[in-house]
């Protein structure tokens, strides 16, 4: 299962606007993606296409998260989502 790490770039973390942008992109992808804080067990990963899960993650500016995806196109999907997380949407 491919995985990527990303550092949260938005100055106030994954609050409403950056979380909505990320979730919308994740929901449009042809693969299922999970997200977790770096260092957390794989079984604690959350559905990346759920706004409630993402807000519950509580990721703040500078936190590192791990994205995992499975299926055809997983690598490309992860690259897209990493770019979103590593962009400051509060600028």
The CATH number linked to 35 is 3.30.1340.10
For residue 16, being part of any structural domain is answered with yes
How far apart are the C-alpha atoms of 33 and 58, rounded to whole Å? 18
Range of the domain at 34: 3-85
Q: What is the pTM of this model?
A: 0.94
15 is catalytic: yes
Catalytic residue among 4, 15, 37, 61: 15
Three-state SS for 62? coil
In the chain, how many domains are there? Answer: 1
What are the two backbone dihedrals, phi and then psi, of residue 89, each rounded to the nearest 5 degrees?
Answer: -85, 0
Walking along the chain (91 residues) 10 residues at a time, the average pLDDT comes out as 96 90 95 96 94 92 97 96 94 74
For residue 91, being part of any structural domain is answered with no
């Amino acid at each position: 299962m491919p995985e990527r790490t990303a550092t949260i770039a938005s100055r106030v973390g994954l609050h409403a606007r950056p979380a909505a942008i990320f979730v919308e992109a994740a929901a449009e992808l042809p693969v299922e993606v999970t997200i977790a804080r770096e260092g957390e067990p794989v079984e604690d990963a959350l559905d990346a296409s759920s706004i409630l899960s993402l807000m519950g993650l509580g990721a703040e500016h500078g936190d590192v998260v791990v994205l995992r995806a499975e299926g055809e196109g997983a690598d490309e999907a992860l690259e897209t989502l990493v770019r979103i997380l590593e962009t400051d949407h509060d600028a």
